Amino acid sequence: MRTRLIAPTVAAVALFAAFTPRPAEAQVSIWLQRGVDGYGGFVGLATNGTDALLSLSGGYSYQGFLDFDLGLAFIGYDDFFGDGTEVSALTISPGIQYHPLKQSDNLPFSLGLGAVYNYTIYSSDELDAAGIELTGWSISGSVNVYRFFKLSGNFGIIPAVAGSYVYESQTLSDGVTDMEGTVNSFSVALGAYLGYLDASNRIWGIIPSVSIPVWNDLEGSDPDVIFGIQVGLIFSKPPPEPVE
């Protein structure tokens, strides 16, 4: 059973490595100007047409350039082993974001750098019946370029493009023997951050995105494009006006 499972398991996991679509993460700083503190929460859905993900995430931004994030995601795989077996997964994802460049009169774009650690526990009736535990972890690094455009009134849009590298490790264990498989991958994501700033300095946002696999080192795998959408609310705290 363990021998039969390990190869298709690693192949299936590669399809959803660091599943949360990029750049649609809990990047609070992407919504804020430099010097503005803020925090927010997001709810998201994503799919590759077969499998589905539901995510909850939140983050705090210090001065609009340094983020501390935490995400929780539930993933439902419809055909994890290639034989119709349904598998579910729960992932916890702490992360950090740094935005060294912010759009200004002299700079036409902003730049974000990020790192996220994901820990995942998988479950299914087939795994339970075989007495097998499947767990995984991954670490990802991303580069995100974006620009704010004012639409009208208090509405704005931030188109963004991101490149993400992911290293992922999966372990199958029957309590006696452990078998490990690893995957390296790279993807490009396109997103649009649509926001409305209300009178209380709250930003109501919606983020459609698409994540496109570019490369991975798992022979025979063919990852799908992932479509996602998030909605969120960001509470910003502009610095006090200077006293004249």
Q: Is the pLDDT of residue 230 over 90?
A: yes
Tell me the pLDDT band of 37, cut-offs 50, 70 and 90.
Answer: very high
Interatomic CA distance for residues 107 and 98, integer angstroms: 17
Q: Is 124 a residue whose pLDDT tops 90?
A: no
Distance CA 69, CA 29 (A): 11
Q: Which two tokens stand for residue 144?
A: 């995100």
159-176, pLDDT tens digit by residue? 999 999 999 888 888 888
For residue 243, is it within any domain? no
Domain contains 171 = yes
**Domain count within the chain:** 1
Residue 244 lies in a domain: no
Query: How many of the other CB atoms lie within 10 Å of CB of 3?
Result: 8
Give the separation between CA 32 and CA 85, rounded to whole angstroms. Answer: 44
More confident residue, 68 or 243: 68
Q: What is the pTM (predicted TM-score) of this model?
A: 0.89
Q: Is the dihedral of CA 53, 48, 145, 193 positive or negative?
A: negative
Q: Residue 31, class by beta-carbon neighbours within 10 Å (0-12 exposed, 13-18 middle, 19+ buried)?
A: buried
Q: What is the mean pLDDT of residues 195-199?
A: 96
Query: Residue 81's pLDDT is what?
Result: 66
**Cβ contact 91:119 at 8 Å:** yes
Q: Are strands 149-152 and 133-146 parallel, antiparallel or unpaired?
A: unpaired
Residue 62 placed within a domain: yes
Instruction: Residue 180: give the domain boundaries.
Output: 2-237
- Average pLDDT for 44-56: 89
Q: Note whether residue 136 is domain-resident.
A: yes
| pLDDT tier at 110, thresholds 50, 70, 90 | very high
Find the CATH number of the domain harbouring 155.
2.40.128
